Amino acid sequence: MKIKNIKVFKIDIPLIEGSYKWAHDNEVEKFDTSIVVIETDNNIVGLGEVCTLGSSYLPAYSKGVRSGILEIGKALIGKDPSNISNINLEMEKKLKGHPYIKSPIDMACWDIIGKKYQLPLWKLLGGKFGEDIHLYRAISQESPEIMKQKVIEYKKEGYSKFQLKVGGEYQEDIERIKSVSSELDQTNILVADANTGWKCHEAIKVVKQIENIDVYIEQPCETYRDCVEIRKKTSNPFILDESIDSLNNFMQAYYDGAMDIINLKISKLGGIYKSKQIRDLCVELKIPMTIEDSWGGDIATAAISHLAHSTPEKFRFSSTDFNSYNSLSYTEGSPKRTDGRMRASDNYGLGVELDFSKLGEPEFIIN
């Protein structure tokens, strides 16, 4: 089996709520996502997706995805997509860094492997744990009262885990956390995700003011050093996200005792292959994870579901279903949320079929 061609599509995904806001005054009204379709010489088709959450969240941007695939794609034509380690080595050889560019190609190759061997991806990744996956709901940064009302409504939809987008003006963030916390009980989980938005002195004031609230603190500051300093000053459970962008950084954080939980984002690490490496190491080291991606639609959500469902439940802190935030669906078979939970498909590969009528013409084809 060999890669015959690589097609890349660009689509815009609008949000049901109209916009999404987080730290550093970031706001997005629609997401530019790249869909990768890999065709093989035996007519198996693999699907991948990457959505970068704008250009100012991580060192990644949507146009860079497509220009980067043009840079590396030709070298993959004629390669066996089921030889996943060699595919990753070839991509790294052609382009240093830029893991987000490689992620949808890696994802599409995993989809092909599942279809070739007629197995769902979760089985290839280690087997299924539990009946379903508990999801968190991200609450876009608004006034404390609006955020509280959104949490009340999402609780009615079955969510029990909530991730508040803070990292704004720290005094208002304290009110956001207190306001939302007042609506939750012991069965709920609350995460205050600053997305690197606080300066160290601001983060210190926040954690001191909320030390008696049952809330997880996530990535308060931009630098790893500052996050470690805040970690020392709070008794609240601590999550690292943006700082964990490689296996080496994860190991450094583990040896430093820098976190209780990590956020494992597929595209931040370069795809399912490298995400699985860190996932398995986290299980071995007893580090729970939120398994997700930066953003995405149906395909990215399917990939998240398979990686999460193949993770032992006690190390699966949470996950997310980005396709429920979006007003555009472009596949059949993608996971659907029910009562704040989702399941990975039992169909082969990722378990989704692309509706090409929703995509238009490809941006380019590499063959």
Residue with tokens 């997310």: 320
Residue 313 near residue 306 (C-beta atoms within 8 A): no
Question: Sheet containing 136-139: which strands, arranged edge to edge?
Answer: 136-139, 161-165, 189-193, 216-218, 238-240, 261-265, 289-292, 316-319
Residue 295 near residue 104 (C-beta atoms within 8 A): no
Of the candidates 237, 225, 263, 291, which has an alpha carbon nearest to the alpha carbon of residue 58? 263
Token code pair at residue 228: 């470690």
- DSSP tag of 157: T
The SS3 assignment for 159 reads coil
Residue 87 near residue 105 (C-beta atoms within 8 A): yes
Q: So which residues are the catalytic ones?
A: 165, 265
